[in-house]
Amino acid sequence: MSEQINVKEFPHTYLMKKYSLTKDNLSSHTKQLLTDFNRVIRLVASKSKDGNVNLTPATQNKLETYDRYICEGVFEYLEDAEKLSDAQSTQEEAQMEEKRGEVVEKMEELHEEAIKENEQTNTNNTASEEEAAAPKKTGLGFWNFD
């Protein structure tokens, strides 16, 4: 896979950077979601082979869901701190949905590439297994009468 998912591409990371927020600014629930999100990212990265990340649809959905709820937590904090009005919040949420859509598309493309690579690998393995399974003709003794 030529492309990889970068955590900085997720909308919640963008929001936190834009408003100079840290994990400490967020509610305990949002902190837990952020911890879980990072745990999933580390798990996926640790299972990658040679930098190739295999994201299953279930993992993609999990990351997308965590991101969405973390964004909601950030918006709640910003509204409570009166750094953002409801109208601004709605506008920002729409922008984050677009960004999330881009990340989801990229994850789906990576998943499809991984499936194709696995199919190619499996095709190559089955061809070599068939060659290995083919009966070999060997002569008996010194003379070969075939």
Q: Give per-residue pLDDT as tens, 38-88.
A: 999 888 888 877 767 777 888 888 988 999 999 989 888 888 887 766 777
Which residue would you say has higher pLDDT here, 55 or 137?
Answer: 55
Q: Give me 127's structure tokens.
A: 């061809």
**CA distance linking residue 19 with residue 84, whole number of Å:** 10
Domain boundaries, the chain: 7-119
Q: Please report the pLDDT score of residue 28 as a whole number.
A: 92
Q: Taking a C-beta distance cutoff of 8 angstroms, is the pair 34, 72 a contact? A: no
Q: Mean pLDDT throughout 24-33?
A: 92
Which residue would you say has higher pLDDT here, 117 or 34?
Answer: 34
Q: Please report the pLDDT score of residue 34 as a whole number.
A: 94
pTM: 0.59
* Helix extents (H) in 28-145: 28-46, 57-80, 86-133
- Alpha-carbon distances, residue 10 vs 5, 34, 63, 65, 125 (angstroms): 9, 12, 9, 11, 37
Q: Please report the pLDDT score of residue 76 as a whole number.
A: 86
